[in-house]
Amino acid sequence: MEDERRTSGEIDPFELLGNEQRAAIVETLGDARVEAGVRPTVSFSELRARTDLDIPSSQFNYHLQRLLGTFVEKTPDGYRMRVEGRLVYQALRAGTFDRAGPTSTHDLHVDCYYCDGTLKATFEDAVATVACGDCEHLYEILGVPPAVLAADTDDAVERFVGHCLQKRFAFANGDCPTCSAAVGTELHRAPGLPFDDDETAVVRIYRLCENCGDQFYLSLGEALLYDPAVVSFCLERGLDVVTAPSWEIPFAATDRSVALPSEEPLRLSLTVELAGDELELVVDESLSVVERNRR
């Protein structure tokens, strides 16, 4: 896969930006865009002055020319970032931070589904976990961008929840949140599910982006959270599943609402119970909904 990608096109983005001078040019154009709020055009002399590299004009021009058509484009007024350059700049900015920040723990004010304890979020070395403070059952584990960890204490939980919702929404819909490629679907059945010591666990949906490597494990409840019938059924009964984190949604936080009504053909069901009413969704192995039943 690695080799195929490298040789399938003429241009290797890792090689292009592996050069310090070229990376600096992309950074300058990215900074200019952040300052201007639009996609500004920068003249050659201004770009060279702002990038502040101690190299002759001809050498600067050589590196700039190598970026043309990939990360940078030339217009009659000067140079500006292409969309590809912006994506690289944003990814580098999003991933730049001091990983040695302090560990912090935040009370989420949500009861554990397995004991009398309450849930806590812990941010440590760019990884966030949500787990019970007593029985230590793990509800969520996720790499977090620095903007989450840099937020002040109260805001950090809000940033983290927002990050979880974005990831969950994209992966539940089969899209990679990082590069927007389609993600694959694998059903992992109990026993032996990763990150799970829950004896009621039935299945995890593993979604992997083969383009950029982003990946996520969803419960069946999480994977079906944005089904229009689920969204409206819950909203009519006072639960907004679109904005609530998974650990606040009982049928997403545990597999107690999940059953396996058929092996051949494979069928999985999710029963959402709220305010005395029931909505059951039955899906096939591709997670397509084959039945919606109201009781």
Residues binding Zn ion (CB under 5 A):
112, 114-115, 117, 132, 134-135, 137, 176, 178-179, 181, 209, 211-212, 214
Among residues 91 and 229, whose Cβ is nearest to Zn ion? 91
Task: Give 185's strand partners.
Answer: 207
CB 157 within 8 A of CB 108: yes
Closest CA to 62 of 19, 12, 13: 19
Rounded Cα–Cα distance for residues 161 and 286 (Å): 28
* Shortest distance (Å) from residue 66 CB to Zn ion: 26
Rounded Cα–Cα distance for residues 288 and 295 (Å): 21
* Shortest distance (Å) from residue 214 CB to Zn ion: 5
Half-sphere CA count of 80, side-chain side, radius 13 A: 13
Q: Is 273 exposed, middle or buried (0-12, 13-18, 19+ CB in 10 A)?
A: middle
CA distances from 24 to 19, 33, 56, 168, 246 (A): 9, 14, 15, 34, 40
Among residues 115 and 290, whose Cβ is nearest to Zn ion? 115
Among residues 95 and 261, whose Cβ is nearest to Zn ion? 95
Among residues 179 and 274, whose Cβ is nearest to Zn ion? 179
* Shortest distance (Å) from residue 179 CB to Zn ion: 3
* Shortest distance (Å) from residue 119 CB to Zn ion: 8
* Shortest distance (Å) from residue 285 CB to Zn ion: 23
Among residues 40 and 133, whose Cβ is nearest to Zn ion? 133
